[in-house]
Chain A
Amino acid sequence: MTGPRAARIAAVGLLLLLLWLVVYPIILVLIEGLHEPSGWTLAYVRQFFQRPSEWQALWGSLWISLASVVLAAAIGLPLAVLLARYELPGGRILGGLVALPAVLPPLVGVMAFLFLYGETGFVSLLVQRLLRLENPPWQFQGAWAILLVHAYSMYVYFYLFGRAGLASLDLSLYEAAASLGAGRWRTLRRVVLPQLYPSLTGAAILTFMTSLASFSAPYIFGGGYRVMTTQIVATRLNGENELAMVETISLTILALLALWLLRGTHAPDNPAGGRKGVAPARIPLRHPLTRRLLTVFAWGFAGVLLLPHLTLLLVSFVPVGTWTTEPLPPAYTLANYLALVHDPVRVRPLLNSLWLATAATVAAVAIALLGGVVSARGRLRGARLIEGLLALPWAVPGTVFAIALAAAFSVHAPAAGRFILVGTVWILPLAYLVRNLPITSRAIFAGFRALDPSLEEASASLGAGRARTLRRVVLPLLRPALVAGASLAFVTAFGDFVTSIMLYTYDTRPISLEILSSLRQSDVGVAAAYGVVLMLVSAAVFALGAERGSGG
């Protein structure tokens, strides 16, 4: 079908909207970094290049991201192979448990690490006591602390992608390798890993981009150690706005460059053609000693992985100021949770996050759906561009977008498409919306691609117009994709910290900012209670997704 007028008009409108929301703010950043009242200038760029601290921050971002990939792969991949290929007691439960770091939003995970390994953390105190030290055994600060948090939260990508890749391998591949005389290691090295290549590069790209954009961990644990995301915020606080713009540009270039370099490593998804047949059964571990060691190791490791969740839960029941030096809290209370519901000051952030995230999600779903309708189907020119623009915010760190939106929408110039939104209630939903576009549109576009085009043609040949086809055929079949896209977007916005910290006002302060201020006031119980709420919401969304995934 050639695009009829209505579709073409919708496509053009959408294109303009996306250019305005996604591209325009970044261009304004570029302009502000190269401009001063008297005209164009390279002064700020020169300033950037002359300061060693800038180079250090950029280098820090780069090497921490690379190291995070290596660490995450080193943890996630063996776990994936162990749990996907070998039979362990309780393997099924273990398989779920080790994915649980995924339910901790970045700031919440960081808070849990603080409770565990910080100066007065559980584990720190325990070690201090066991070794009878005078001071805490370590300072949980600097690059290695950031790396540890990254490894913990990002190995899940390698684990999940690796498992999915392993599950898609046909039993006959293993059998063919065995019949050709390849042992277990040779099979792994020559057959399994090459087939996993697309999944693993996918995980590597995701890890790299996530840690390049990571803000919570360096913000809380960085101490004097700066990466570019925290450097930008610090520079802005210093009032050196133009320099912050140059830093923002440098981080954007680094992100896009990395993505461009890694782009070629994406092998075709299914080089072997259609994969049919059976997934291989798990291999029983015959040797009793190996079996016992691996079981103890796997369960012990899962326990360590669950410590943050348990700690949050425990701390959330601790009354203010009652727990100082005891190994376990002396008293428990529900007061922290009650405060979230009853104390007007505490309720506010919860309600704020709720409506901000809901508004952003509804808008993101609507835009992604429109994008799907006009671009996934028609042969309109510009369809690829729309898809690219919807995906772009994924490649650009959240800090960059926060800065860009702040720059674009703190000026009143309607003719230039700029309005004062900073300081109003609208800037946060807008920021969440932009950040959510990739995640929502990816889910919804995948839904459109899975939808057989002949279904829509069948509907048309049965006399149903566009509206009826959309309502009766397309939307019902897209529902799983819509739910997936919407819930992922909601979770991300609900726990957002990185854009909120730069754009919030007191009246719109979201949960993450309230957590931060509670922590600053040593009101750890309430902070943990908020954390538990965020954790449960994420867990609910992931459980929903897992159920759908297994239910077909």
Chain B
Amino acid sequence: MTFLQLQDLVKRFDGTLAVDGLTLSLNRGEMLALLGPSGSGKTTTLRLLAGFEVPDGGRVLVDGEDVTQLEPVARRFGMVFQHYALFPHLDAGSNVAFGLESLGVRGDELDRRVARALTLVDLEGFERRKISQLSGGQQQRVALARALAPEPRVLLLDEPLSNLDPTLRERTRREIRDVIRRVGITTILVTHEQDEAFDLGDRVAVLCQGRLEQAGTPDELYVTPANPFVARFVGRSSSLRVEVLGRGEQGTRVRIGPAEWDVERREDGPPVPPGPALMLVRPEALRLTPPAAGALSATVRERRFVGPSALYTVVVEGSGAAIEVVAPHQAVRIGEQVGVMPSRRAGGGIHLFPEPTP
């Protein structure tokens, strides 16, 4: 059941397209993460939703109602700002009460609902605390309580964790997720951190230069990236120029330098036509072998520690392309001659895209 719809939104600043025909829809209670590099238009999109900017084209619909031209005041969208924007001259309770007062809530009812909102974010009894006396994480939660207290139709989060210590981030992320799940509110959050997007979003929309590249569950984005941008931006991958030869025994047959591999066919699109193509490979989709026929010959250049295993950068002989491969610690030494092979027979985790025609 579609609850929030963004239809063909367009926003220009001084002639530059910040948001370029963005269309997205969310079900009631769904949480969507807008993910993209800086300048991709994700914050502008959020501000269009909040009503702080007026789009040059397109519509925003909530529950069937067109709110595109509605002032922010009348929109009943809750927003948590990147720097929280808590009112420094008001205490935590008065901050939370602010939106409720706009709705005409007064007296005992007001106190009760403020207390409830603060309890929701685990800050019971913090009503009279000054904002300056709160830690960063607590301020974050007051901001969330303030946005949720008037029971908005949609919750918007602008880089909600970017102001926190890395050590605090993961914990706060869980807390935010739990609170939002409990409230069941339709939520859009903006982030440039993949982990954050994957952890919080039921679905993730990847934006680049104001355009939607792909929207889907984290799994979909990782396993079936729609284009090279998504494949590169989501997770790690190395790119290689290859030549598609046609159908092989177990998928598409490609030639990489002297080697020929079979790459798993994707069912979500047309097959890549024979000819030059771009191949994007996840590090875990490859394995290192002793130099052998059918393997790419390469030299180990760098090893990085990534926890349970190591991430090796190897340089392919001939083309000089650098590829990242996951392998056990101490598998090979720097400078060693190795072979590179797909780790699965069918070549999963390897994505082919036709060379963009110039």
Contact = CB atoms under 8 A, between A and B. Distances in A.
Interface of A: 1-2, 452, 454-455, 457-465, 468, 472-473, 476-477
Nearest to B104: A463
A451 to B, nearest CB: 10
10 contacts: A1-B53, A454-B85, A457-B72, A458-B86, A458-B87, A460-B71, A463-B74, A463-B150, A464-B73, A468-B102
Contacts of B74: 463
B105 to A, nearest CB: 11
Contacts of B50: 457, 461
Contact of B87 (A1, A455, A465): A455
A463 B89 contact: no
B79 A458 contact: yes
B312 interface: no
B75 A477 contact: no
B98 A464 contact: yes
Nearest to B78: A461
A458 B81 contact: yes
B293 interface: no
B163 to A, nearest CB: 12
Contacts of B81: 454, 457-458
Contacts of B51: 460-461
Contacts of A461: 50-51, 72-73, 75, 77-79, 99, 147
Nearest to A4: B71
Contacts of B102: 462-464, 468
A454 B89 CA distance: 15
B99 A477 contact: no
Contacts of A452: 83, 85
Interface of B: 50-54, 71-79, 81-83, 85-89, 98-99, 102-103, 146-147, 150
A374 B51 CA distance: 19
Contact of B72 (A460, A468, A472, A476): A460
Contact of B52 (A457, A462, A468): A457
Nearest to B81: A454
Contacts of A2: 54
Contacts of A457: 50, 52, 72, 79, 81, 85
Contacts of B99: 461-464
Given A457-B52, A457-B72, A457-B79, A477 B150 contact: no
A468 B98 CA distance: 10
Which of A457, A462, A472, A477 has most B Cβ within 10 Å?
A462
B180 to A, nearest CB: 17
Nearest to B53: A1
A465 to B, nearest CB: 5
Contacts of B53: 1
Contacts of A473: 87
B83 A454 contact: yes
Contacts of A477: 87-89
Which of B79, B82, B146, B150 has most A Cβ within 10 Å?
B79
Contacts of A455: 85, 87
Given A458-B79, A458-B81, A463-B73, 9 more contacts: A454-B82, A455-B85, A455-B87, A460-B71, A462-B78, A462-B150, A464-B99, A464-B102, A472-B98
Contacts of B86: 458
A477 B79 CA distance: 21
B54 to A, nearest CB: 6
A460 B53 CA distance: 13
Contacts of B76: 463
A453 to B, nearest CB: 9
Contacts of B75: 461
A1 B52 contact: yes
B214 to A, nearest CB: 29
A504 B199 CA distance: 73
A476 B88 CA distance: 10
What are the 4 tightest A-B residue pairs by CB atom distance, in nearest-first order? A463-B102, A462-B99, A454-B85, A458-B85
A2 B103 CA distance: 25
A377 B75 CA distance: 21
Contacts of A454: 81-83, 85
Nearest to A465: B73
Which of A452, A458, A465, A472 has most B Cβ within 10 Å?
A458
Nearest to A464: B102
B146 A462 contact: yes
A312 B150 CA distance: 62
A378 to B, nearest CB: 13
B72 to A, nearest CB: 4
B98 A462 contact: yes
Which of A2, A460, A465, A468 has most B Cβ within 10 Å?
A460
Which of B78, B82, B87 has most A Cβ within 10 Å?
B87
A465 B73 CA distance: 6
B96 to A, nearest CB: 10
Contacts of B72: 457, 460-461
Which of B50, B72, B81, B103 has most A Cβ within 10 Å?
B72
A460 B73 contact: yes
Contacts of A476: 89
A454 B103 CA distance: 21
Contacts of B87: 455, 458-459, 472-473, 477
Nearest to B103: A463
A455 B75 CA distance: 17
Contacts of B89: 476-477
Nearest to A473: B87
B77 to A, nearest CB: 6
B308 to A, nearest CB: 38
B133 to A, nearest CB: 14
A392 B54 CA distance: 35
Nearest to B74: A463
A452 B82 CA distance: 12
